[in-house]
Structure 1
Amino acid sequence: MTDTELNMPIIDMAVPMPGFPAHRQFVLVRLNDNGLLYAFTSVDDPNLRFLVAPPEPFFPDYAPEIENDVFAALNTKDPDRLLVMVVITAGVNETTANLLAPIIVDRDSRRAMQVVLTGSDMPVRAVMRRAF
């Protein structure tokens, strides 16, 4: 990791991301000036990173229901302190966002988890129509 990335606040995963059990600490690295695109980068392996973005500019009506067990795992009770990020897949012809499994970060404790919204009809690949 670069010196700048090492000085960023570390986000601890309360529950590892599916498929990546050994990676428990990440940093958010801003990739553009307007703050719409980030790399959620593993501290242990900087080559492991996920493109993420806040959903509001792209999906203004997106309002995932966060279950009580998520609040408990993140050790918070205040929904206003949560940062919601969606995982982005950039393709040749289109860019999509995973609205079914957002990454939820508590801004105070810097604990996070990827949450699968059970019982939701949110798509795994929602087409993003706005540019970064």
Structure 2
Amino acid sequence: MKIQSTRFGTIEIIEEDILHFPLGIPGFLNEKEFILLPHGEDSPFSFLQSIKEPNLSFLLVDPFAFYKDYEFKLDEILVKEMELTEDNPPQVLVIATVKEDIKDMTVNLQAPIIFNPKKREGRQIILEQSPYSIRHKLFAEPNKAEVVEGGE
């Protein structure tokens, strides 16, 4: 199957690799199918490209590669709905915002994207009452999630 991307051009994908977002992504509720494109081998970065909308892609980051102390508890209902288990743990990624100066790049630690790799399903969740915000500097001090002033 071929899809179009303004960022990557024509991409050949395997239908089994499509990630399904039954609830869409906040702000893009009608976009329910994406493909995860790695930035490079062993890179903590990847791109989430919409299957239908060539202009829609997100830069995703493995938060644990930058924030060793990043942690949260998933809601029991979500765990059951997504069929997550010890044998099928979630993959967690966060959306990054690239600034003019790359060292000012921020990530949204308050709304991680949770994937069930076996089921090929994803959801962006919002962490209630968490110490995280939507704008943490990615290249902050090691192991410290620094909040950027002016966060929403």
Is the Cα contact below 8 Å between 1:28 and 1:38 reproduced in 2? yes
Cα offset, 1:46, TM superposition: 2.6
Report how far residue 109 of structure 1 moved. 0.4
State the 4+ residue runs in structure 1 displaced beyond 3 angstroms.
Answer: 77-80
TM-score normalized with structure 1 length: 0.88
Question: Cα deviations across residues 19-71 of structure 1 (Å, max 9, x unaligned)?
Answer: 11110011101123432211111111132011101111111111121111221
Equivalent residue of 2:54, what SS? Answer: coil
Q: 1:15 to 1:78 in 2, by over 3 A?
A: farther
**Cα 1:33/1:102, change in 2 over 3 Å:** same
Distance 1:40 1:114, change over 3 A: same
The amino acid across from 2:68 in the alignment is P
Shift of 1:79: 7.7
Q: 1:62 aligns with which of 42, 50, 70?
A: 70
Shift of 1:127: 0.4
Of 53-62 and 71-80, more deviation after overlay is shown by 71-80
Relative contact order higher in (CA < 8 Å, ≥ 6 apart): 1
Larger radius of gyration: 2
2:131 to 117, 121, 128: 121
Among 98, 103, 106, which residue is 2:113 paired with?
103
Contact kept? 1:13, 1:111, Cα under 8 Å = yes
1:31 has 2:39 as partner: yes
Equivalent-residue separation in structure 2 for 1:52 and 1:36 (angstroms): 8
More strand by share: 1
Structure 2 Cα separation of the partners of residues 83 and 36 of structure 1: 12
Say how many residue pairs are matched.
129
RMSD: 1.8
Q: Which residue of 2 aligns with 1:19?
A: 27
Q: Specify which of 3, 7, 11 is matched with residue 14 of structure 2.
A: 7
State the TM-score, normalized to the length of structure 2. 0.77
Change (3 A) 1:121 1:79: farther
